[in-house]
Chains A and B, each alone.
Chain A
Amino acid sequence: MIRVANLHKSFRGQQVLKGVNLDLATGKITTIVGTSGCGKTVLLKHLNALYLPDDGAVFVDGVDITKLAQNDLYRIRSKFGVLFQGAALLDSMTVFDNVAFPIREKTKTSETDIKTKVNERLEQVGLGAMGGKFPAELSGGMKKRAGLARALIMDPEIVLFDEPTTGLDPVLATSIHQLISRTQEAFGFTGIVVSHTIPQVFEISDFVAMLANGIIEEVSPPDKFCASQNPAVQQFIHGKTEGPIQVL
């Protein structure tokens, strides 16, 4: 469903992606791991064309989304839900309105149906009683849950998770992982998770892809990933400073 081909991206002369090739399996969760600042979020933001590459392509259902006009791109983006690193809730709205926002803007659904669907999603992420609160009144974990509810409200085929557990305590991180896994089973979306919370994130992943030095070093199921003899993978898993991964 999603194929990344020879993706290059640089910012102010610094090359972040140096020819990324990656196939993301439909209906599965693929986790992209790598050191901080290696370009995981940059790669993720190319998947729905929030960033455009200097060179290369991103195919979604066979369409190169990097070359689409805005209207066509927005049609493709309607297939995506995104959970941003800081949840990116609109801070002028309540949690309920944030979750309802995409339906109100993109469809003509009645307020009664919106209320039912939003409350259902909020219940699923454990925020049933929090609809009336503003994002500023929520903890980090609650914001992520609200962001997840918003990402899932349009029943997307693909969901992007940008570091969903960064900054959370281990208990909360596990609960977010379980939530991602549970919702993926319930909705069957293709999930792409960017994370460096290993090994916990492996439990919810069908595949793990490792980004290092601007390219994908390894893609494999979690058990094979951990057993990989790739020096970059071994360096990352064991947290060594010596090895092929350039550490700043």
Chain B
Amino acid sequence: MVSFLGRIGRFALDQIGGMGRMFSFLISSIGLAFRPPAKIYLIIYHIKTIGVESLSVVALSGFFTGMVMGFQGYYSLRKFNAESWLGSATALGLLRELGPVLSAFMVTGRTGSAMAAELGTMRATEQIDALDSMAINPVKYLVSPRVIASLLAMPLLTAIFDVIGIFGSYLVGVTLLGVSSGSFFAGMENSIVFHDVYSGFVKSISFGLIITWICCYKGFHAPPMATGVSQATTESVVLSFVFILVWDYFLTSIML
């Protein structure tokens, strides 16, 4: 009984210690991001890997999400003879919720997993130790530029997701299902306020931070072996998804 309780206690302490290390990693990576000298070339490079290279998958998923919302929105609204609100319903859903969340999921799958795998491999092949031994802070060199890049790239990707999603919904609603183009855009114009756009961007920025934080942490602390890298990659993706959804709930409840 005592050893059972001991194991539970040890497990709890390990979990709390792990969370503490994760938060301390986050704070140091943000702190180092603003300590000179700024690694501008690395920030630009990571904007390319996080932003530009995720563009096609974000655009494609935005387009099909918008089209699905066009069909589903039309089906639901027709029951209340409110098809003319399709543009408004789609835009609100995309701007406030689906745009930030789904583009964050896409970036996690496309770039977050790659971050974890790359850093995990660097750990396994002692490249991170090599940086440290050259008196170059590996968090500042490897993580902080990614943090800044994700903060800049995520809102832009979300904006692209939103616009393409609305276009997809327009194609389905107006072109296929016969909703009036005027009412599609008029409904959108009447119901969307700046707060809707703003809350979506706040979410996307915080999701960018979550993705980089978790994926870099998991990669950075991956056990130095092949299974360690694969485990870190899987954990980083799953944990990012969960954190994004949980944090989305809190932000939505605050910013509603």
- Note all chain A residues with C-beta closer than 8 A to B134: 77, 82, 101-102, 105-106, 154
Cα A91 to Cα B189 in complex, Å, equals 51
Say whether, besides A86-B125, A88-B125, A106 and B136 are in contact (CB < 8 Å): yes
Contact of A28 with B by CB under 8 A: no
- Note all chain B residues with C-beta closer than 8 A to A74: 135, 137
Contact of B133 with A by CB under 8 A: yes
B108-156: which have CB < 8 Å to A? 122, 125-127, 129-137, 141
- Note all chain A residues with C-beta closer than 8 A to B122: 90
Contact of A96 with B by CB under 8 A: no
Contact call A88/B130, Cβ cutoff below 8 A: yes
Question: Distance (Å) between the CB of B92 and the closest chain A CB?
Answer: 42
- Note all chain B residues with C-beta closer than 8 A to A88: 125-127, 129-130
Question: Distance (Å) between the CB of B48 and the closest chain A CB?
Answer: 13
Cα A101 to Cα B141 in complex, Å, equals 12
Most buried by A among B122, B130, B131, B137: B130
- Note all chain A residues with C-beta closer than 8 A to B136: 102, 105-106
Nearest A residue to B128 via CB reads A88
Q: Scoring A residues 56 to 82 as 1 if CB is less than 8 Å from chain B, else 0, what string do you get?
A: 000000000000001000110110101
Tally of A-B residue pairs with Cβ under 8 A?
48
Nearest B residue to A90 via CB reads B127
- Note all chain A residues with C-beta closer than 8 A to B130: 82, 84, 88-90
Contact of A3 with B by CB under 8 A: no
Nearest B residue to A92 via CB reads B118
Cα A101 to Cα B127 in complex, Å, equals 13
Contact of A45 with B by CB under 8 A: yes
Cα A89 to Cα B130 in complex, Å, equals 8
- Note all chain B residues with C-beta closer than 8 A to A75: 135
Cα A80 to Cα B130 in complex, Å, equals 11
- Note all chain B residues with C-beta closer than 8 A to A84: 126, 129-130
Q: Scoring B residues 58 to 100 as 1 if CB is less than 8 Å from chain A, else 0, what string do you get?
A: 0000000000000000000000000000000000000000000
Question: Distance (Å) between the CB of A155 and the closest chain B CB?
Answer: 13
Contact for A50 among B125, B127, B129, B137, CB less than 8 A: B129
Nearest B residue to A77 via CB reads B135
Cα A160 to Cα B132 in complex, Å, equals 14
Contact call A86/B126, Cβ cutoff below 8 A: yes
Contact of A85 with B by CB under 8 A: yes
Question: Distance (Å) between the CB of B44 and the closest chain A CB?
Answer: 15
Say whether, besides A88-B125, A88-B127, A82 and B133 are in contact (CB < 8 Å): yes
Contact call B135/A50, Cβ cutoff below 8 A: no
Nearest A residue to B37 via CB reads A105
Question: Distance (Å) between the CB of A87 and the closest chain B CB?
Answer: 9
Q: Scoring A residues 206 to 240 as 1 if CB is less than 8 Å from chain B, else 0, what string do you get?
A: 00000000000000000000000000000000000
Contact of A48 with B by CB under 8 A: yes
Contact for B133 among A77, A90, A101, CB less than 8 A: A77
Cα A90 to Cα B129 in complex, Å, equals 11
Cα A12 to Cα B130 in complex, Å, equals 24
Nearest A residue to B28 via CB reads A70
Contact call B137/A48, Cβ cutoff below 8 A: no
- Note all chain A residues with C-beta closer than 8 A to B137: 70, 74
- Note all chain B residues with C-beta closer than 8 A to A70: 137
- Note all chain B residues with C-beta closer than 8 A to A160: 133
Q: Scoring A residues 149 to 163 as 1 if CB is less than 8 Å from chain B, else 0, what string do you get?
A: 000001000001000
Nearest B residue to A84 via CB reads B126
Cα A197 to Cα B206 in complex, Å, equals 53
- Interface residues, chain B, with chain A CB atoms under 8 Å away: 122, 125-127, 129-137, 141
What are 14 of the A-B contact pairs (CB < 8 Å)? A48-B133, A50-B132, A74-B137, A78-B135, A80-B133, A84-B130, A85-B126, A88-B126, A88-B129, A89-B127, A89-B130, A90-B127, A90-B131, A160-B133
Please give me the 3 A-B residue pairs with the lowest Cβ-Cβ distance, nearest first. Answer: A88-B130, A74-B135, A88-B126
- Interface residues, chain A, with chain B CB atoms under 8 Å away: 45, 48, 50, 70, 74-75, 77-78, 80, 82, 84-86, 88-91, 101-102, 105-106, 154, 160
Contacts A75-B135, A82-B133, A86-B125 supplied; 10 other A-B pairs, CB < 8 Å = A77-B133, A82-B130, A82-B134, A85-B126, A88-B126, A88-B129, A89-B127, A90-B127, A102-B134, A106-B136
